[in-house]
Amino acid sequence: MNTPSLLILAGDGIGQEVMAEVKRIIDWFGEKRDITFDVSEDPVGGAAYDAHGTPLHDDTMAKAQEVDAVLLGAVGGPKYDDLDFSVKPERGLLRLRKEMDLFANLRPAQCFDALADFSSLKKDVVAGLDIMIVRELTSGSYFGEPRGIFEEDGQRVGINTQRYTEAEIDRVARSAFELARRRNNKVCSMDKANVMESGILWREVVTAVHQADYADVKLSHMYADNGAMQLVRDPKQFDVILTDNLFGDILSDCAAMLTGSLGMLPSASLGAPMENGHPKAMYEPVHGSAPDIMGQGKANPCACILSLAMALRYSFDQGEEADRLERAVESVLANGVRTGDLMQADGGTPVSTSEMGDAILEQLETSL
């Protein structure tokens, strides 16, 4: 049996620091659970620009197409703000998503019991929250043509095109319905069908897919602006939220903050099945590169570690080990262990990035 392959792209800023803790956990699974990976590493984003003059080298792109999963840290930073748009660090991330055709972005928003007081919302509103946002990731206004900044009637005009095909909507809708069947069997699709033709098509196609193949799943529709309001009014009314690229970007960040910290939230970007039956996949924390705390040991590695748990579940058929890792993180939080983003006036044990890794490894040992 071939050893599954994993490409690590730590990237920029705190990406390097949080990924260091993930690599320790990968080593633990190899030593204690006999779960091993063929791990390779490459630069991406600003680190790749520094090394190669491009945010994603062609060799790295080719490798990403071949491995079983990609695990990414973060990209970007003020050092690269003045670069041409075509070579900014974020272009490397977008290229990975587009060329790997990672069309379904899964962003869980789960509020651990120990962190229910960390949300800006009342505890009873967020306690026990567990929702999943499925965001279309490779089309819409971030990729549609025409796009650019043009001269028109003596002034500059910025253009981005919101564009979706039936097939693009169909496949991400199926991802959401399949996921709902493994959860609470409920999907809310969010669009702007009241003012956008692309929204009308979105709603029509999602409805058709539902009627044809997923009538057992409860489907509702909501305008995306109302969806944002409902997320902060009564988030536990939702299970799976299905939406497009632009609205998904906004709504998932809104949902993320319901849980108290971006440092806790993983994500998975999934594509079409490969020969082994698993989807092409890239896993990454929701947070950015946080250059203001880079190198200070303040970064929370939990989101990146939980992204590894998602990889274990969706790419490597290791659901029980994914549960083990998630329980270890939950136990650490329940014990009051806190990186800086999780500290409150009522106390807790302050730890560095590596000390949080130590605590999670200790809980993994306890789980044996």
User: Which tokens belong to 39?
Assistant: 């791990």
Q: What is the pLDDT of residue 220?
A: 98
Whether the ω angle into residue 285 lies within 30 degrees of 0, i.e. cis, is no
- How far apart CA 350 and CA 265 sit, in angstroms, is 20
Record: fold of 1-121+261-368: Isopropylmalate Dehydrogenase (3.40.718)
User: Which tokens belong to 180?
Assistant: 């709902």
Q: What is the pLDDT of residue 112?
A: 85
288-317 pLDDT, tens digit each: 999 999 999 999 999 999 999 999 999 999
Fold matches, 1-121+261-368 and 130-258? yes
- How far apart CA 226 and CA 312 sit, in angstroms, is 35
2-50 pLDDT, tens digit each: 899 999 999 999 999 999 999 999 999 999 999 999 999 999 999 999 9
Query: Model-level pTM?
Result: 0.89
| DSSP symbol at 317 | S
Domain limits of the chain? Answer: 1-121+261-368, 130-258
Q: Please identify every residue annotated as catalytic.
A: 142, 192, 225, 249, 253
Query: Who's near 36: CB < 8 A, 6+ residues apart?
Result: 3, 29, 30
Q: What is the pLDDT of residue 262?
A: 77
- How far apart CA 253 and CA 246 sit, in angstroms, is 11
Q: What is the pLDDT of residue 346?
A: 57
Q: What is the pLDDT of residue 1?
A: 63
- How far apart CA 329 and CA 362 sit, in angstroms, is 10
- Cβ atoms 97, 103 nearer than 8 A: no
- Cβ atoms 270, 255 nearer than 8 A: no
Low-confidence ranges of the chain (pLDDT < 70): 1, 344-347
Nearest CA to 175 among 103, 253, 97, 100? Answer: 103
Q: What is the CATH superfamily name and number for domain 130-258? A: Isopropylmalate Dehydrogenase (3.40.718.10)
